[in-house]
Structure 1
């Protein structure tokens, strides 16, 4: 190489520089750096020597590469030879919030006319992100956060917090020491503080890595990531596993199967509140590029279906750490692919009319120039949980769990809460494992499906505001319940406690058929009665030897003759629905009793409403 091709004419500097190049080829990097520094001693403006020092430090991922690259670019800002350093310097400036410096670098690079389209996209996106960030920072959200107090945050690092729908159980991933494996820990809220974290020992934590988990709203289904565990069935380096809780015991984790896991990397799971829908992250092929969000649903047999790419949300860049809110209608996630403040930002998208709505940045200062990755928002939308991480280079040195008051602009638009209680045998008080479905009675669509605990009978199911529901409770050998919840006008539903007694199937048992609707003074069934009527059909089909009487009852408003006619016609309408659904007529009879068998005092509207009912008597 001739002297005129360098940025210096100093022969001694050039000699030292070329000696450094030969030493690099011989992989004698320390000696090569010394030679380049000698060249700089001879000419402090020798840009190429600074660049080569940066390249050596880049090989070993040393942060000291940045000052060397920065000096080379400062000395020769229009030199195409330094183009490979620009993406690295751009990342550094953006990660430090130096927007002006990053914008200048991006503009310089684009003037090179590089054929590296990936780098060109990065530069154009950076310029757009800088403009977006400057505008967003002028309209900051009312955002306050605080570290969770002791005894939380006692480990070297802790991250990826998740909570049950009632907010009383916190589970997170932690490493006790810098070089220890990941494990999962849980803490309980006693009304005033969190308990000391305890390991999910037994079947969950092992000497290998377990972490990045999600838990169903009722705390009974745990999905988590395990990597390279020789004691577990696996498809790839990191797979997703599921464990079920009965009483206080977690079952042995089971690989979620080929519908979810592949030979690629799978992690960052998030479950729907009922534990039947899963979103997760994978770098498998068939996506938009990099890490993508994928989705799988559990079928009626309990198997997880083949995962599909959530293409409406993914970009050619990385998407990670999805979180499906308890309302099942909004997905929060981190991405590098949308307009933002630099690095990973947090975004949200709503599920409306069977499709994903526009992706929105959660705004400043939730998002900043630093990476924001994991966020959990409570069922009521009031509190958020996430980790604040600090790095030195690529080495994590701290990660602390924080709680925030969620700004109004970020809260889920659909308010959510839950119903919890216990299912038990009405005669013996024995706790029962029952199937509990939440049905939107206006479209007869199932919104959630959970089971009560076989040991404790406990259940919890999430309900969204703005709909009218039937809570269908079914257990083999028992009558069913269809409980009404009208949240159409409820803007802020509150938690409900409701124990559910089920009657054994035996002659003489009488139970009310809730969620059967008629217009006042009429006997034509309203469409929203279909959910409860279909449940009655299933009940008859599953108990083929059962016979019963359908009886109609009214309040005492009106004449006895009118009430008698109305009650028998309403009972007949239900009878005919069952016959039309294929139930044999000889198994059923119908009768009307007017106001002669009140279930409550007719002196109040609440009592009269209770008296207007359809009952089923087992014969």
Structure 2
């Protein structure tokens, strides 16, 4: 019997508040130093006491709070305790970055999805405790992988990857690439219908010694959210697997995804059980014997071939969504986005309205909000904001969408950052004493205090409007540079840039007395100055509530 690939579309809704408290046989705890108010997941064990993971939408990411994932690192101290996480700007871009692991003792493979949508697997060489970029691997069809991409490298000869491709059964499927020679790899091989379903399969980790595959799925009868399952490879083909078994020891009423087995009695994994729908890294509170499923039963492998009848018809024909066609399934996660989902099986939509959700960046509570649409050329208005299509924004020349909530700094999306098949999550920082935000779109000509680009002027006009609407606020404007050049000149330049921002705001009507300035030069870096990416992050202007 063959499996027909039905078109699958998802409507994501917020479920920050419905996760139950799990009851597990062993107590689990958040991994010290590795968890933030954002999404932390995909642990990769390097050995030598170090572990990499991906952190989404963190202010210190290269792309700031709109960055879907940079690579961070934690390491153990002399007592075996985890230190605070360190941002690895040398392994990160302004897009989505995911460590896959080390094929040998001096090489690390990293998946990058850059802001322009360019996807690839790249090789870095170890240099002391740092990494130097080497080259991009030749991995066929890697540009076709979208959705929640995750994976791992095994013995330097196999790369396991999850993602949505034209050949996927529904959402993300699991695939394997085999090394051909040098840096050239085979085309992706689907792991078959024993593993892959019409739901979502992610975070594959294969142990070549035991032939066990660890992965997460939200589409098995006993799954609670996205759970970790284990299957045994039973034959020569990559479609030959035992029936997967749920790993009850680490699963909870939340979702689990991403796994690093550090030792026989230590494992780290990603979980949303205590984080309001965002992933944290967790482990057992004390050393325990890992109760990994082992009582495997053979499974019947089904064909991946599509039925020939009616499959050639376009998948995105017009069908309107009705309530009867929606059936709830287990949650789905996109990096940095709260979990939740509805599964629209065999439903086709011509288009869906854009959806925004505002969330307190620290407390992860849902906020009431308003949406404004801005254009660099002409004023933009819509009679209704809850049924706008992406095409509507393009037709009216919308450049930015601003999400605002009383008592919070507004969050701005550029039009090309918006997504149409899931909510656009605005993480809003609360306006309170000591709160700092980076003025992401304020740029200067190199080595000067002169503003550069229309985006800078638009950002400062938005800031002036916010300050004029919140007249009780006083703020300090902090200027920063990288460490290149003369420290004295850097400090003067950073102060001049802070002054330029203040003067512009005063010209727009903000009272001079509410605006203080500081220039710190390169004395307060937020990233390594050893790389251009890190230096770019350090050249910034911040706003602090007084």
TM-score range, shorter chain: 0.3 to 0.5
Q: Greater Rg, structure 1 or structure 2?
A: 1
Give the TM-score of the pair, scaled to structure 2: 0.44
Name the structure, 1 or 2, with higher relative contact order (CA <8 Å, separation 6+).
Answer: 2
Give the TM-score of the pair, scaled to structure 1: 0.39
